[in-house]
A and B are shown apart, each in its own frame.
Chain A
Amino acid sequence: NAGVTQTPKFRILKIGQSMTLQCTQDMNHNYMYWYRQDPGMGLKLIYYSVGAGITDKGEVPNGYNVSRSTTEDFPLRLELAAPSQTSVYFCASSYHRGTNTGELFFGEGSRLTVL
């Protein structure tokens, strides 16, 4: 298994541009997440999904959109990029069944710079 795969690993955007961060997992996990990590600020939840066709906002959803058309894929869309979106983005997935809360498996991260 490749686990959680994110692309691209690095990207520089100009203010106002748009882009999509891709995330795919091959572990048949039902839950998927997008976090952003700013220096010294920990991991902030942007959006998460509990299954195909279902998404929900996290702590910092403004300026982002997601979709979950399949179990495997959970792309994150940035519209009208702003310098405040400069960060490292982590996609993660986990398996939940009943009351069992599973371990999050993270991708390698995508470093985005908005200039």
Chain B
Amino acid sequence: GENVEQHPSTLSVQEGDSAVIKCTYSDSASNYFPWYKQELGKRPQLIIDIRSNVGEKKDQRIAVTLNKTAKHFSLHITETQPEDSAVYFCAASRRQGGKLIFGQGTELSVKP
């Protein structure tokens, strides 16, 4: 069945450094790849997403890259700030499937 693997499980960086989180997926029919951020005790919220017809997408300090051949995608956060500290989840789904499968999550800690 579908599976999404996410690494690393924890990531600690200094404020101002960059952070990279990587995911791989098993279902070759997947073509929608969102990233969600979950602050402590809160609900997950979408921060950026990418579709398979695009290789890279940027939104201010965050960017996502997709390699469909290798079936992996990554989240890049530049100039990290303490408020970026949270758990980040990648996910994948098919075009019209609606079945969104999440990775295990990465706990990002940004130290001032």
Contact = CB atoms under 8 A, between A and B. Distances in A.
B9 A45 contact: no
B100 interface: yes
Contacts, number: 58
A40 B105 contact: yes
B99 A48 contact: yes
A79 interface: no
Nearest to B3: A59
B96 interface: yes
Interface residues of A, number: 26
Contacts of A90: 43-44
Contacts of B102: 35, 42-45
Nearest to A51: B98
Given A40-B104, A101-B32, A108 B43 contact: yes
A93 B46 CA distance: 13
Contact of B98 (A50, A59, A107): A50
A106 B43 contact: yes
Contact of B93 (A56, A59, A101, A108): A101
Interface in B41-81: 43-46, 49, 51
A42 B6 contact: yes
A2 interface: no
A42 B100 contact: no
Contacts of A104: 34, 36, 44, 46, 100
Nearest to A31: B98
B112 interface: no
B99 A45 contact: yes
B99 A103 contact: no
Contacts of B104: 40-42
A46 B32 CA distance: 20
B83 to A, nearest CB: 20
Interface of B: 1, 6, 9, 32, 34, 36, 43-46, 49, 51, 89, 93, 95-96, 98-105
6 contacts: A43-B44, A43-B105, A90-B44, A103-B34, A106-B44, A109-B43
Given A45-B102, A104-B100, 9 more contacts: A41-B104, A42-B6, A42-B105, A43-B89, A50-B98, A96-B98, A101-B98, A104-B44, A107-B43
